[in-house]
Structure 1
């Protein structure tokens, strides 16, 4: 009975969101209302939100279905539309550079927050016997896995890195082909498919406020902090570091490097931030990420490159803040003696393990395990964080996506291609043309 009541209240919330839309309330307002209503429903009904959560899960499935064709077509379109390899190198180098900066700053913030909080000091930690540790591929296996062997199989299993590399290689083939007129039918198909994909994305993502309400109700209702115990402060530290990076560090980067008012970015990108927060999937949020970048004046070819790349590289939440925070907790909890230079080593390792990281739920455990083995810490400590990992993933993922969105804006500004008029526009436009 409680399930149906929660569903009914959720539907009333949907009606409220629709009413706000008809009253021409901004997308941001609708997302904020959805966030509040979803959180309240989750707190009141607890785990009795399964039916309501199903609606959000359908939305996630639709986003996931778009990931592979979107990545393949958008990157192929981006590469084929470039004038020469020099342009590709310029956009690629700047994107990788900005994402690397995000990762490094994420690690630095995590270290500082852990120091200030005294994370792990006095903690009573016991590693359970027989703990299973996530299997971590070797460096060579990881590198080999980047390159596609069967693109159909990679697509079926959502292996993002091989798809991106395949699209880039295919695009380079088009770019280097001497007789452009001969392959014009192929490029026309790519361009037309890209237009159709963005139209489909714009239609699907306009339902974001409804999905946020549904998913947040389910997530809040399913939270169980009873088993957290002494590791609760790790969760607090992750949220503090993640939100600091998303709303303090990232705006500073935008102001200093892109020389734009970061408030515009925060307001316009917040719906995507909340989408990532509730879906816990950087890959699942990539379409909304790209759409928001374009809405802020980022050229499509840059957004179509920076958005997807940010799901497999950098990722300050999953690949920097999360493993470094656990490492800082481990140092104090187990009384490990480390030198000052060791902290710089951790920052470097966090950047390296972010290469090829795929932004899907659950990947952070493998990334953190890889990090721990690289720095020589007991990987069992990562498993001890399981009770809080799902909750922490909300902050981790949202921070990843925030970094990816800002990267597109920064690269566009550095390329002198950011549409300042669109960026400064007060109200964000809808995802879809209405």
Structure 2
């Protein structure tokens, strides 16, 4: 009885309701072949409804939501790494890579410029942030200082110093730079030697990771129920 007395009836009811909603989504998916995007939107509505029914007391479902987020996060770095290497080695020509790289950087800068202009275009007329006053104390000053860094340090942090640490820390820019340099090296060596084994390794690794990502993506509607509720 002592162990049973510690069980939260509300949490049990929340989990039971979540299981029922999962079963409903599975039926809609398998029997009615509901579109994935529509199913995800419906899952969001079901999650919100679940939260409303239990008056927001659905914190016990955080475990499932965090597991899904962890799975997605864990796959980001290896997915980027092998995708870049596989794509560059597939092109195979340094001349083509140079052209594609310059165009990619150009489009990246252009889209960032558009985003900045749009942000300022909305923020300035609406006076977003006006009237906000930061508390002038040591804790606030220390926090703000920790969030800033000199330009040279920012640039230095872009470049990798430990690829294992970059992968584990999901430092995307460093991962991109490392993967790009490694892929270009593979293409360059491929001019004199046979590197088909290396190319095949990264191509097959990419296929495996894509399959793993697919498994996680299949869980999205169920995760959205939980995340929508919590």
Structure-to-structure mapping, 1:80-229, within 5 angstroms: 80-119=89-128, 123=131, 125-130=132-137, 131=140, 132-135=143-146, 136-177=148-189, 178-181=191-194, 183-218=195-230
Answer yes or no: is the 8 Å Cα contact 2:159–2:174 preserved in 1.
yes
Contact 1:53-1:217 at 8 Å conserved across structures? no
Alignment of 1:372-411 (within 5 A): none
Q: Deviations over 1:268-298 (max 9, x none)?
A: xxxxxxxxxxxxxxxxxxxxxxxxxxxxxxx
Q: 1:116 to 1:15 in 2, by over 3 A?
A: farther
Residues of 1 paired with 2:10 and 2:50: CA distance?
Answer: 11
Structure 2 match to 1:11: 19
1:205 Cα deviation from its structure 2 partner: 0.9
Which stretches of structure 1, 4 residues or longer, exceed 6 Å deviation after superposition? none
TM-score (norm 2): 0.83
Q: Distance in 1 between matches of 2:71 and 2:220?
A: 12
Distance across 2 between alignment mates of 1:63 and 1:190? 20
Higher-Rg structure is 2
Q: CA deviation at 1:35?
A: 1.2
Question: Is the deviation greater in 200-209 or in 42-51?
Answer: 42-51
State how 1:16-415 maps to structure 2 within 5 Å: 16-22=24-30, 23-45=32-54, 47-119=56-128, 123=131, 125-130=132-137, 131=140, 132-135=143-146, 136-177=148-189, 178-181=191-194, 183-218=195-230
**Gaps spanning 5+ residues in structure 1: where?**
219-434
1:209 Cα deviation from its structure 2 partner: 0.9
Inter-partner Cα distance in structure 2 for 1:202 and 1:78: 19
CA deviation after TM superposition for structure 1 residue 202, in Å = 1.3
- The 2-side partners of 1:134 and 1:4 are apart by 45
| Separation (CA, whole Å) in 1 of partners of 2:113 and 2:183 | 31
Aligned length, in residue pairs: 215
- Specify every segment of 5 or more residues in structure 2 that has no aligned partner in the other structure, as ranges: 1-8
Distance, in Å, in 1 between the alignment partners of 2:43 and 2:211 is 24
CA distance in 2, matches of 1:116, 1:11: 48
Contact 2:45 2:228 (C-alpha < 8 Å) held by counterparts = no
Q: Which residue of 2 aligns with 1:285?
A: none
1:185 Cα deviation after fit: 1.5
Instruction: Give the direction of change, closer, same or farther, for the CA distance of 1:120–1:150 in structure 2 (3 Å limit).
Output: closer
Deviation of residue 172 (structure 1)?
0.6
Helix, strand or coil at the partner of 1:17: helix
Greater fraction of residues in helix? 2
Moved more, 35-44 or 161-170: 35-44
User: RCO greater where, 1 or 2, for CA within 8 Å and sep 6 or more?
Assistant: 2
- Structure 2 Cα separation of the partners of residues 119 and 138 of structure 1: 26
Aligned partners of 1:149 and 1:25: how far apart in 2?
47
